[in-house]
Structure 1
Amino acid sequence: ARAKMAAAKPTPTDSLSFCLAQLTAAAGEGLGGTKDTATNETPLGRALLALRTRHIKAAGGIERFRARGGLLPLLALLRRASAAGPAPFLAGPGSSPSSIESAASDGPAPSPGPAPSSASLSTSSPPARLRKTLDLALSILADCCTEGACRAEVRRLGGILSLVTILQCVKTDSIQNRAARALGNLAMEAESCADIHSAGAVPLLIESLTAYQDSHCLQSVIRALRNLADSPQHRLALAQQGAVRPLAELLAAPPDPALTLALVRALLELSRGCSRACAEQLSLGGGLGPLVSLASHPKRTVRESAILILANLCAQGLVRPALGNAGGVEVLLGELQQRRGPSGAGPASQQPLVRAVCLLCREAINRARLRDAGGLELLIGLLRDPHASAWHPRVVAALVGFLYDTGALGRLQALGLVPLLAGQLCGELGDEEEEGKEAASWDFPEERTPERVEAGSFRSLRSWLISEGYAAGPEDISPDRSPERCPRPPPPPAPPEQAQAASPARSPALVRTPRGRSPATEESWGREGPALLLLSRFSQAQDPSGALVTGPALCGLLAYVTRAPGPPSPRALRILARLTCNPACLEAFVCSYGAALLRAWLVLGVAPDDWPTLRARPPSLRSQHRELGEMLLQNLTVQAESPFGVGALTHLLLSGSPEDRVACALTLPFICRKPSLWRRLLLDQGGLRLLLSALTRPAPHPLFLFFAADSLSCLHSLVSPPVSPAPPPATPLDLDPPSPCHYEPLLGPAPIPAPDLHFLLDSGLRLPAQRAASSAASPFFRALLAGSFAEAQMDLVPLRDLSPSAAWPIMHHLHGCRGCGAALRPIPPPGQPLLGSEAEEALEAAGRFLLPGLEEELEEALGRIHLGSQGSLESMGEVLRLGRPRMAVHCARWVLGPGQCTRKRALALVELVEAAGEEAGPLTEAFLAVVMGVEVGSRVPS
C-alpha cells in the first residue's frame, strides 16, 4: 500500500515548467549534473524522459512545448551534445537504450540555421549518458517535427544544420535512426527539403544505408530519402549522388517485411520520371529481379509499388532489355490486362502501364515476349476503346515496332488493325506525352566516340548513305554534327520508306520530325505518320485487298487526304496509287464500291457524311482532289481493261453473288471505256437491268443511290442512241407562241359555223361542238355520235365523270386544236399535288375517249411545268405517281440530263425510288429506254 501511495505521489517531472527549466539549464551550462542515487538518473535525464513519454505524447503537448519556448533550448542542447567529443561515439557499439522506442512519425523539416556551438561539454560525462541524452533529445525533436508550426520553428532556429552535424559526428545506429527520423519529418515541406539538400545531408544518409544493419535505423534513413525526393530536381540529385543503388542492394538482401515496404515506397518516389542515373543504379544494384518477384507480393501496397517502379523504369531504354530478361514484360502486361478487366481499375491507374507496355515495344527482344504473352490483343483492345483515345497515338507508334515482324503483322491484320488505323487518320487524336531521347530503342544504343574519332559503325552508316545517294560525300555527314555537339542541327537526310522503319519507334519526338531525301522534297511526318507507315506496310503485301480495300479503310484514307489541315502526306497518296495499280485489288474495289467512292469523294466532292447535305470545299482543293481521283480511276481502268480484268469482271457479273453482281454493274461505267466491253456486260448480258432492279432494294452502301445516279449518267453519256428524243424545253409551254385555236369561234354569241351538238357535263354546263369534227377526231366519238347508239340522234349528249377544266382540252382537241394552250388549263402549278387533280382527270378522260394525241400533249405540258426550271424534286415524285410510262420516261430523262448537277440528280433518283415504291417496273423500263435511247413503247432488250 505504501508503495502504491508512493507511486501515486506527484513528482517534479510532472510539471512541464520543471522539465523546461532543466532543459534550459542543461543547454546553457552543460550536460553534467548530480546523479540522483534513488533513481540513478540526472535531473536532465528525468526531465527529457518525462518530456518524451508524457508531455509530448499528451493531447496538444507538442503545441504547448513549442509555445513555452521548448524548441530553442532543445536545439541548443543538441548542439552541445553533438560537439561533446564525438570520438567515443565513433568507436562505441551504439545500441539503442531499451527504454527508448524508435517510432517513424510523419512530418516536415526546418531550414538552415547557425552552425552548432563549438563549446565542448563536460568530459566527465560518460559516453553512455551522453548517448542517452542525445537519444531522448532527438526523439523529442522528431516527435515535434510532426507538427507544421514546429517544423517552421526548427527551420528558423537552424535545427537542420544541427541534425546534419549529428549525422556526421555521431556514428551510432540509434542516434542515426532518430536524426534521420527527424530529417524525414522535416522533409515533408518543400522549403525544408531544399535546405536539407543544401546542408549536405544526402551523402550522410546514403552512407548510413551501407554502414548500419539495424532495421529501424535503415527504415528511418530510407524514409528520409523518400521524403527528400519531392521534385524532379531533387530526385535527379539523389540519383546522381548514388542513393538508388544501395536501396536496390538492400532490396536484393534477405527480406524483412517492414524494410521491404520502406524500400519499395522510396524507390517508387525516386523512379518517378525515371532518370538515366536512377535506372543504371537500380539495374547495377540487382534490383530488377527482386522487383519482378515483389510484383506478386501478397501485400497490396508492396505489389502495386513494385509494378509502378517497373513501369517507371521503362522510360529508360538502356534498362528495358534487362527488365524483359527479368520477366518484367509479362508482369506489366498481366497487370494491365487485369486492370482493364471487368473488375479492373479506372483509366488513371492504367495510364503508366499503357505507357510502359508501349515503350517495351521498342526493343525486338521485348516485342517477342509481348507478342507471345498476348500483348497484340491488348494493344488492339486499347485502340478499340473510345475511352482510351488519349493513348491511341502512343499505341499506334508502339505498333510501328512490329513493322517487319510478318507473323505479328498477320495477327494484327486478323485482329482488325487496318480499319482502326484508318480511323486514326481522320479522328480526333489525344495529346501524346513527349519522350526524351533516353526512351529511344536500345536496339540502337548511342555511340559515345572521342572527339575527332569516328566509330566503325558510323563509318559504315556514312558509307551506306553515300552509296544510296542520300549524301553527296563524306563531308555531308560528320560525327561532329550530333545533338550533343550542335544545338540546332539541320534535319538529317532520311532513308527510303523501308529504311525509315528500321528503328521504327525511336521516340515520338524523333518520329514526328520531318523526313525526306532533301529539304526540297521534304516529307512531313505528322501525328498521322505512324498510322500511315503501318498502312503503307500493309499495302505492300501481294494481296492487300482484304484489309485495305474495304469501306472503313478507304474512308479513313480519303478523309485524311481531303480534310487534313495541311498538305496530306505523300505516303497516303502512294498507298492509294499502290492499291489501284494492284490487279489483286480490282475485284475488291468493285465489290466494296471503292471505285464509286473514289469518284464521288475526289472527283465529285461528295463524301458519305456530306450526303445529302453537301459541305463546301475551297476550289483549289477541289481541283487537286479531282486530279487525284481521275488518276486513281485511270489506274483502275488500266486494270479493268487488261485480259485479267476483263475475265475478272465478266466472272463477277455472271457468276458472283447478287450483291457483287449489282456492285459490278454499278462500277463498270466508271472504270470501263472500251465500248465492246461495257456494251457486252451492261447491255447484252443484262448488267444495266440488274442495276436498275436493285434501286428499290435496301441500299448496300450509304451512297448507293448517289453512285447509281452517277453510274447511269456516265453510261448514258457513253451510249450513242439511234434515236435521241429531244428533252422538254426549260421554259413553260405558255411562253411558246400558241397555235391558232379552232374551238373558240364556237363559244361566241354568233358562232361560225353554228354548233350542231352540245355536250352536257355533270355540273350542268353545256359545251358546243361539231358532230363531224368530233366523230373524225376519235374512234370513241365516231361510234358514239355516228353509229347505232342513241346519242347519234341526240342534240344534247351527256359526258359523265368529267369536270369543266378536264373537258376543256378535250373539246379543243376534238375540234383540231394542237398546241393552242388548252392543255395547260387543268394542270396545277408546281408544288401542288397531281394525284386527284384535274390534270389526272384530263389524262384519264383522254385515254377513255381514245385520244392518244391529247394524252401526249397533256403529258408534254405536265413535264414542262413540273419538270422544268420551276419544278421541285417533290414534283418529280408526283409526276411518277401518275403511273404513266411516258411521264416516267420524262422523269428518267430529267435525271440523266447532261446539264444536271450531280447532287440534284441523285436526290431526284431518291425521290423517284420513294415514289415508285414496290412498283418499280415502270421506272426500270423508263431508265432502260432513256439510257439505251429507244422510243417509249419500243421493245427494250432483256
Structure 2
Amino acid sequence: MAAAKATLTDSLSFCLAQLTAAAGEGLVGGKDPATNETPLGRALLALRTRHIKAAGGIERFRARGGLRPLLALLRRAAAADPAPSDEGPGSAPLSVASAASAGPSPSPSPASSAVSPSSPSPSPPVRLRKTLDLALSILANCCTDGACRAEVRRLGGILPLVTILQCVKTDSIQNRTARALGNLAVDPESSGEIHSAGAVPLLVESLTACQDSQCLQSVVRALRNLADSPPHRLALAQQGAVRPLAELLATASDPALTSALVRALLELSRGCSRACAEQLSLGGGLGPLVSLASHPKRLVRETSILILANLCAQGLVRPALGNAGGVEVLLDELRRRRGPSAASPASQQPLVRAVCLLCREAINRARLRDAGGLELLMGLLRDPRASAWHPRVVAALVGFLYDTGALGRLQALGLVPLLAGQLCGDAGEEEEEGREAASWDFPEERTPERAEAGSFRSLRSWLISEGYAGDVSPDWSPERCPLPEPADPVITTPGKTSLRSPGALRTLGRSPAAPAAAEEPWGREGPALLLLSRFSQAPDPSGALVTGPALCGLLAYVTGAPGPPSPRALRILARLTCNPACLEAFVRSYGAALLRAWLVLGVAPDDWPAPRARPVRRNQHRELGEMLLQNLTVQAESPFGVGALTHLLLSGSSEDRVACALTLPFICRKPSLWRRLLLDQGGLRLLLTALTRPAPHPLFLFFAADSLSCLQGLVSPAASPAFPAAAPMDADPPTPCLYEPLLAPAPALAPDLYFLLDSGLQLPAQRATSAAASPFFRALLSGSFAEAQMDLVPLRGLSPSAAWPILHHLHGCRGCGAALGPVPPPGQPLLGSEAEEALEAAGRFLLPGLEEELEEAVGRIHLGPQGAPESVGEVFRLGRPRLAAHCARWTLGPGRCPRKRALALVGLVEAAGEEAGPLTEALLAVVMGLESGGKGPSLDG
C-alpha cells in the first residue's frame, strides 16, 4: 500500500504558524483571521488529533511556545462572540474588554472589544464555535501536564476561560471550558485563582442549564477539583454548589454522571459545613445516597456511605438522615468492615465517628438500638485495636443515660467493667466537635448573639446554683450535661440512720470553700463516671458494680488521678457501700478487704507482691477507706446484715463461706456478732483451713493476713509484741560459761572423759556432770553399757558446731551464748544446717532444755524485730511446734507492716505445703491469745 501523502498540517511548525497568525501576532493586512478559519481549523484539528496526542506531544507544544498564541486565540474568539449571558448569583458579568486586556497578549481590535456580552445577539457562528471547541479541547488536554498548568497560570489563561464560560452557553463549549478549568484546578494555586475569578457561580449555573451528560460530568468534576481545601469547600457550599448536585443525583440516569456526582459530593462534604448539609438535605440528596449505598459498583457504594458519614457531623441533618435509613446503612457498613476480613482502622474511623454522632438524637438512638448498634459499640470497646476511639464511644453511650432498656442491655453486655477500665486507661482524648455537631434534640435558638449569650448565662448560673451541673456549654447535650446527683447518699436501716460523707469526700474532691463550678470536673473520665453513676443509682447495682473489675477501676481512678478525683467517683463508692443490697456482693467479691487494702493500707493489686512507686495521698485515701468501711459496718450490724452474713457463713458455697469469714473482722465491731460467727460457728477455723487451698483472689493471702491481725486485735486488744525490742545482744552480757574451764591448758577441774566426734575431734567432759544432765547420758555413762567403762566415748552423727552447745549444756551452761553458734545468719537456709543438726541431737539425747534454748536462738536471729518475712517460712520448715508458734506470733504481731505480714504468711503457706494442721493450730493459738498466756475464748470448731 502506498504511503499516505504528507500534508502541511503534519508539520508542528506549520500548525503553530497558523495559530500565531490567527492570534494576531505577525498579522499582515487588516484581515481578521477569526472569521477565516479554513487553514486555522485544519491546523487546530491536526494539533488536537496528532501532535498533542503523540508521545511527548504536549511537552513539545509547550516548549515551542504554543500556549501563548492558543490563549490569545481564545481571548480573540471570546471577544468576537456577542452571545448573551445571564448574571450568575453572587457574580457580576465580566466585560469582554476587561477579559481581553487581562492577559499578556495584545488587546483585541476596537470593533470587537466594543461588543458587550450583555448586549442581545444571536448564538455564535458555527465556524467560530468550532474554533473555540478545538482550541479549548487542545488547552484542556495540555492542562493534564503540570508544567503546562503552571505556564497557563503564568500567562493569565484562567480569566479568559471564565469569560468564555460566562459568554458562550453552548453545551460543547461549556463542556470543554469546564474540563479545562477542572484540569487547572488540580494545582492549589490555580484553584485559588479560579475561585477568585468568579467561576463557581457560572459552573453552578451550568449545572441547572445544561442537559448534556458529558457537559454535566465536566462541570461536576471541575467543582470537585475546586473543593481542594476547607475554605474552598465552604465557599462552594455558600455559593450554592451543593444543592444542584443533590438534585441531579436524585434524577440522574447516566451511571457515569452518578459516579461523578457522588465523588464531587464526597469532596464537598469533607469536614461537612452547615451550608453543605442544609443544601444536600433541601436538594433531596439523602434518600438517593441511602439507595446508592447498595449500588452494585463498589466506588459508588462506598463513596455514598462516606458522604452519609460526613453528614453526621451536622446535627441539623442527622434526624432526616435517620428517617431516610442512614442509621442502618452506616451500622451495616461498619459491621462489614469489622467482620472476619476486617478493613484497616483508618477505613473504619469515619464510620465509628458517624455512628457515635448518631447517638446524640433520641430518634436515631432508638433506630441504632433496634438495629444492633449497642452490640457493635460494645464490640468496639472490647477491641484493644480500637482504643483510640474508646473515649468517643463512651461519650456516645452517655446518650442512652435515660433509656432504661438500653442501659439494661449494655449492662448485660458487660459495659460496667469496660467503663471502669476506661477510668485510668491509656486511650486517647475524645476529639472535640464543633457546635454544629451538638444534639439536634435541642436546636440552637436563632437569636442575636448578645441575647443568646445572656439567656445562656442565666441558665448556666441557675443550674450551678441549684447544684445540677458544674458547667454547661452552648452545645448542651446529654454527653455534656451531667446528671443531677445527691451529694451525700443517705440510707436508713431498721433502727439506724447513716449519713456517711465526712471530710474525705471534700478533701479528695475539693476544699469546702471551693466554688460549686469546680465541684464537677469534666475530664476524659467524665462520660464513664456519668454512666457508672447512673448504674449505681439502680435499686440493686451489686451485680454490675460490686465486682472485682469495677471496684478496681474506681479505686485505681480515685488513687491514681493526677489531680483531685471527680467527686462523682467518690459518691459512687459511698452510694454502693450505703446500699444494703450490695452488702453480700462486697463480701463475696472481697470488696471490703480490697477497700481496706487499697485505701487504708495503701496496697493495690499492682503493688503486690512487689511494691510499685507511685505518688499517693495516703492520709486522704485512708480517711476515705475508713468512711467506706464504716458504711459497710452499719449495714453488717443491722438486722438485715446480720441475717445476710449468717446465711452466707452457714449456707453459702464454700467460696462464699471463706469470703464471709475473711471479711467479718473488717466490718463487724460488735463482740457478740463476731464471736458468734467466727468463734462459735467456726468461721475462723474455716478461714485458716482455706489458707493452703488455691487462692480465690490474687490478694487472698494479703487479705487473710490482715483479717487475722484485725481479729487478733479484737480478741486481745492489749496483746504485746511477740519479740519486744531489746538492746543489742552484746550489751546484755551472757551468763558465765561453766564448760570453758575444762578447755584451759591447765584446767582447775581435770576432765575424766572425752567425747570422740566423727571428725576425730576429742572434747573434754566430766562424767558425773554429763550423766546428771540427761537420762540418755545417765544410762550411757553410768549404766551397764560399755561406754560406762570407756574414757573416750564416741558421739556419732555430730559435727563440731552441733556438738558445741550440747557439751556446754551437759556441764550446766544456760544462756552463755553457745546455742547461737550453729545458727546460720539470716538469709541462709536452716534446713540441713548445723542448727537443725543440733536440734535433732538435743531431742535424741533427751535434752529438752537445750532444744528450747536452740529454738530461742533460732528465733532471736531469724525472727527478731528486724527480721525479714522470708525467714519465717525457713524457720517454719524446721517443723518444731514452738518455732511454728514463734512464726505465727511474728506474722500476726501488733504493729507489723501489712506487706511484711502478708509476705510472711505466704512463706508459711508455702512451707506448710499439704500439711496444713501445724500451721492452722499455730495461727489459731496466736489469734486466740493462747500462746502469750492470755485466756482467750473457747473455740468450738
* TM category, shorter: 0.7 to 0.9
Separation in structure 2 between the aligned mates of residue 759 and residue 941 of structure 1, nearest angstrom: 51
Corresponding residue for 1:93?
A: none
* Cα distance, 1:34–1:836 mapped onto 2, change above 3 Å: closer
Contact 1:873 1:911 in 2 (8 A): yes
User: Residues 462-477 of structure 1: matches in 2 within 5 Å?
Assistant: 470=466
Corresponding residue for 1:687?
A: 683
Corresponding residue for 1:341?
A: 339
The equivalent position to 2:601 in structure 1, one of 599, 604, 629, is: 604
Aligned pair count? Answer: 882
Contact 1:465 1:471 in 2 (8 A): no
* Cα distance, 1:63–1:464 mapped onto 2, change above 3 Å: closer
Separation in structure 2 between the aligned mates of residue 399 and residue 351 of structure 1, nearest angstrom: 17
Gaps of 5+ in 1: 36-40, 91-110, 501-515
Corresponding residue for 2:534?
A: 537
Corresponding residue for 1:919?
A: 915
The equivalent position to 2:350 in structure 1, one of 349, 352, 364, is: 352
Separation in structure 2 between the aligned mates of residue 124 and residue 724 of structure 1, nearest angstrom: 118
Deviation at 1:434, TM superposition (A): 1.6
Contact 2:925 2:931 in 1 (8 A): yes
* Cα distance, 1:46–1:720 mapped onto 2, change above 3 Å: same
Separation in structure 2 between the aligned mates of residue 175 and residue 723 of structure 1, nearest angstrom: 105
Corresponding residue for 1:593?
A: 590
Contact 2:84 2:167 in 1 (8 A): no
AA paired with 1:549?
A: V
Deviation at 1:792, TM superposition (A): 5.2
Deviation at 1:923, TM superposition (A): 1.6
1:342-388 CA-to-partner distances (Å, cap 9, x unmatched) read 11311011010000000000001101111111111111111111111
Corresponding residue for 2:484?
A: 497
* Cα distance, 1:72–1:398 mapped onto 2, change above 3 Å: same
Corresponding residue for 1:841?
A: 837
Contact 2:721 2:893 in 1 (8 A): no
Separation in structure 2 between the aligned mates of residue 58 and residue 114 of structure 1, nearest angstrom: 29
AA paired with 2:133?
A: D
Q: Specify the SS of the correspondent of 1:630.
A: helix
Corresponding residue for 1:865?
A: 861
User: Residues 168-247 of structure 1: matches in 2 within 5 Å?
Assistant: 168-247=166-245
The equivalent position to 1:805 in structure 2, one of 801, 805, 809, is: 801
Corresponding residue for 1:422?
A: 420
Contact 1:830 1:870 in 2 (8 A): no
Q: TM-score, normalised by structure 1?
A: 0.87
Separation in structure 1 between the aligned mates of residue 33 and residue 720 of structure 2, nearest angstrom: 127
* Cα distance, 1:22–1:838 mapped onto 2, change above 3 Å: closer
* Cα distance, 1:780–1:172 mapped onto 2, change above 3 Å: same
Q: Specify the SS of the correspondent of 2:691.
A: coil
AA paired with 2:570?
A: L
Deviation at 1:849, TM superposition (A): 2.4
Separation in structure 1 between the aligned mates of residue 908 and residue 841 of structure 2, nearest angstrom: 25
User: Residues 319-338 of structure 1: matches in 2 within 5 Å?
Assistant: 319-338=317-336
* Cα distance, 1:296–1:126 mapped onto 2, change above 3 Å: closer
Q: Specify the SS of the correspondent of 2:251.
A: coil
AA paired with 2:864?
A: G
Q: Specify the SS of the correspondent of 1:653.
A: helix
Corresponding residue for 2:504?
A: none
Q: TM-score, normalised by structure 2?
A: 0.88
Deviation at 1:394, TM superposition (A): 0.5
Corresponding residue for 1:904?
A: 900
Q: Specify the SS of the correspondent of 2:280.
A: helix
User: Residues 700-779 of structure 1: matches in 2 within 5 Å?
Assistant: 700-720=696-716, 727=723, 730=726, 733=729, 735-748=731-744, 758-779=754-775
Contact 1:185 1:224 in 2 (8 A): yes
The equivalent position to 1:886 in structure 2, one of 882, 886, 893, is: 882
Corresponding residue for 2:161?
A: 163
Contact 1:867 1:876 in 2 (8 A): yes
User: Residues 69-218 of structure 1: matches in 2 within 5 Å?
Assistant: 69-87=65-83, 113=103, 117=108, 119-120=110-111, 127-218=125-216
1:800-851 CA-to-partner distances (Å, cap 9, x unmatched) read 3333433333333334332222322322232333222222122112222222
Corresponding residue for 1:310?
A: 308
AA paired with 1:209?
A: L
AA paired with 1:294?
A: L
Corresponding residue for 2:63?
A: 67
Q: Specify the SS of the correspondent of 2:80.
A: coil
AA paired with 1:68?
A: R
Separation in structure 1 between the aligned mates of residue 644 and residue 108 of structure 2, nearest angstrom: 99
Contact 2:689 2:916 in 1 (8 A): yes
Corresponding residue for 1:552?
A: 549
Separation in structure 1 between the aligned mates of residue 721 and residue 261 of structure 2, nearest angstrom: 93
Deviation at 1:613, TM superposition (A): 2.1
AA paired with 1:50?
A: A
1:167-195 CA-to-partner distances (Å, cap 9, x unmatched) read 11111111111111111111111111111
Deviation at 1:788, TM superposition (A): 5.2
Residue identity (%): 84
1:457-489 CA-to-partner distances (Å, cap 9, x unmatched) read 979x979985995399xxxx9xxx9969xxxx9
* Cα distance, 1:691–1:452 mapped onto 2, change above 3 Å: closer
AA paired with 1:143?
A: N
Separation in structure 2 between the aligned mates of residue 762 and residue 13 of structure 1, nearest angstrom: 125
Corresponding residue for 1:401?
A: 399
Deviation at 1:25, TM superposition (A): 1.7
1:670 aligns to 2:663 (yes or no): no
Separation in structure 1 between the aligned mates of residue 467 and residue 516 of structure 2, nearest angstrom: 13
Deviation at 1:257, TM superposition (A): 0.4
Separation in structure 2 between the aligned mates of residue 802 and residue 499 of structure 1, nearest angstrom: 76
Corresponding residue for 2:442?
A: 444
Corresponding residue for 2:652?
A: 656
Separation in structure 2 between the aligned mates of residue 192 and residue 903 of structure 1, nearest angstrom: 72
Separation in structure 1 between the aligned mates of residue 805 and residue 467 of structure 2, nearest angstrom: 87
The equivalent position to 1:526 in structure 2, one of 516, 520, 523, is: 523
AA paired with 2:882?
A: R
AA paired with 1:287?
A: G
Deviation at 1:739, TM superposition (A): 2.4
Deviation at 1:723, TM superposition (A): 9.0
Deviation at 1:784, TM superposition (A): 4.1
Contact 1:881 1:915 in 2 (8 A): yes
* Cα distance, 1:851–1:175 mapped onto 2, change above 3 Å: same
Separation in structure 2 between the aligned mates of residue 33 and residue 87 of structure 1, nearest angstrom: 16
1:737-766 CA-to-partner distances (Å, cap 9, x unmatched) read 322334444555665666565544444555
User: Residues 246-257 of structure 1: matches in 2 within 5 Å?
Assistant: 246-257=244-255
AA paired with 2:416?
A: V
Q: Specify the SS of the correspondent of 2:696.
A: coil
The equivalent position to 1:875 in structure 2, one of 846, 871, 877, is: 871
Contact 2:391 2:430 in 1 (8 A): yes
* Cα distance, 1:676–1:32 mapped onto 2, change above 3 Å: same
Separation in structure 2 between the aligned mates of residue 113 and residue 601 of structure 1, nearest angstrom: 79
Contact 1:670 1:711 in 2 (8 A): yes
1:613 aligns to 2:610 (yes or no): yes
1:879-914 CA-to-partner distances (Å, cap 9, x unmatched) read 111110110111111111123222122222222222
Separation in structure 1 between the aligned mates of residue 124 and residue 54 of structure 2, nearest angstrom: 31
Q: Specify the SS of the correspondent of 1:83.
A: helix
* Cα distance, 1:427–1:927 mapped onto 2, change above 3 Å: same
* Cα distance, 1:737–1:467 mapped onto 2, change above 3 Å: closer
AA paired with 1:911?
A: G
Separation in structure 2 between the aligned mates of residue 803 and residue 125 of structure 1, nearest angstrom: 127
Contact 1:829 1:865 in 2 (8 A): yes
* Cα distance, 1:191–1:757 mapped onto 2, change above 3 Å: closer
* Cα distance, 1:114–1:312 mapped onto 2, change above 3 Å: farther
Task: Provide the alpha-carbon RMSD of the alignment.
Answer: 3.3
Contact 2:21 2:33 in 1 (8 A): no
* Cα distance, 1:792–1:344 mapped onto 2, change above 3 Å: closer
User: Residues 27-38 of structure 1: matches in 2 within 5 Å?
Assistant: 27-28=23-24, 32=33
Corresponding residue for 1:511?
A: none
Gaps of 5+ in 2: 87-100, 116-120, 488-512
* Cα distance, 1:886–1:330 mapped onto 2, change above 3 Å: same
